[in-house]
Amino acid sequence: MRPDRPLPEGLSEASGLDALLAEIRACRRCAGLLPLGPRPVVRPKPDARLLIVGQAPSTRVHATGIPWNDQSGERLRAWLGIGREQFYDNPAIAIMPMGFCYPGKGRSGDLPPRPECAPSWHGALLRHMPGLRLVLLIGAYAQRHYLGGNMALTETVRAWRTTPEPFFPLPHPSPRNIAWFKRNPWFEAETLPDLRARVNELLAPVAV
């Protein structure tokens, strides 16, 4: 999961997660390029077993500071088979997008996530989540970063069974992708049941 990337300048390996989050929230390196200004939205958790790597916050997420707090989040939770309360409050679920701030609007939706975030922060954040067992790569940007190669999103998602662990590729659950879901009925029929089974097993209470 590329935890070997160098730490951001001035941040030591011994720094705690709170110190790292303070560094991220104070980041202004893209300030002049963000139409709504910086507001990093990321939720790492030291006991996480499931990590959700998405694209970038929407305007609603930017306004509330709550990740996946939009229609895409509703569909994602349905895919996972979990409710809103568990999604946000379970210490086993962490959220780390490719871009931490809202990037702005493009011709056919939001702009791509800013390219600075993942190289700057992902490695340091991953060091604080050593127990990850499942990493959802949502959308082509996350898939290219963590899986490499140049396969199209549909090919990558269709090959979920042979994707190296702990990664699980998914399309973005945006309403803009309704046509993709209709063109690829295997996703709902085959991929989602496997995803729910893995998530259910991962989040099941540990017997004592």
Give the model confidence (pLDDT) of 106-141 as tens digits: 887 889 999 999 999 999 999 999 999 999 999 999
What is the reported pLDDT for 102?
97
Q: What is the mean pLDDT of residues 140-149?
A: 96
Whether 12 is in a domain gets the answer no
Comparing 40 with 108, the larger pLDDT belongs to 40
Q: What is the mean pLDDT of the chain?
A: 91
Whether 165 is in a domain gets the answer yes
Which residue range(s) make up the domain with 194? 17-203
Residue 142 has pLDDT above 50, yes or no: yes
Helix (H) or strand (E) holding 71: helix 71-80
Whether 38 is in a domain gets the answer yes
Whether 5 is in a domain gets the answer no
pLDDT band of residue 165 (cuts 50, 70, 90) is very high
Whether 4 is in a domain gets the answer no
Two tokens, residue 61: 């997420």
What is the reported pLDDT for 9?
41
Q: Provide the domain count of the chain.
A: 1
Whether 166 is in a domain gets the answer yes
Q: What is the mean pLDDT of residues 195-202?
A: 97
Two tokens, residue 82: 């979990």
Q: What is the mean pLDDT of residues 156-180?
A: 97
CA 142 to chain CA centroid, Å, is 8
Share of the chain above pLDDT 90, in %: 87
Q: What is the mean pLDDT of residues 61-89?
A: 97
pLDDT band of residue 2 (cuts 50, 70, 90) is very low
Whether 1 is in a domain gets the answer no
End-to-end CA distance of the chain, in Å? 30
Kindly tell me the sign of the dihedral angle through the C-alpha atoms of 177, 190, 148, 136: positive
pLDDT tens-digit map of 88-100 = 999 999 999 999 9
The CATH number of the domain holding residue 30 is 3.40.470.10
Two tokens, residue 1: 């999961």
What is the reported pLDDT for 13?
42
Whether 6 is in a domain gets the answer no
Residue 75 has pLDDT above 60, yes or no: yes
Kindly tell me the sign of the dihedral angle through the C-alpha atoms of 50, 70, 143, 82: positive
What is the reported pLDDT for 10?
39
Residue 205 has pLDDT above 80, yes or no: no
Output the pTM of the full model: 0.91
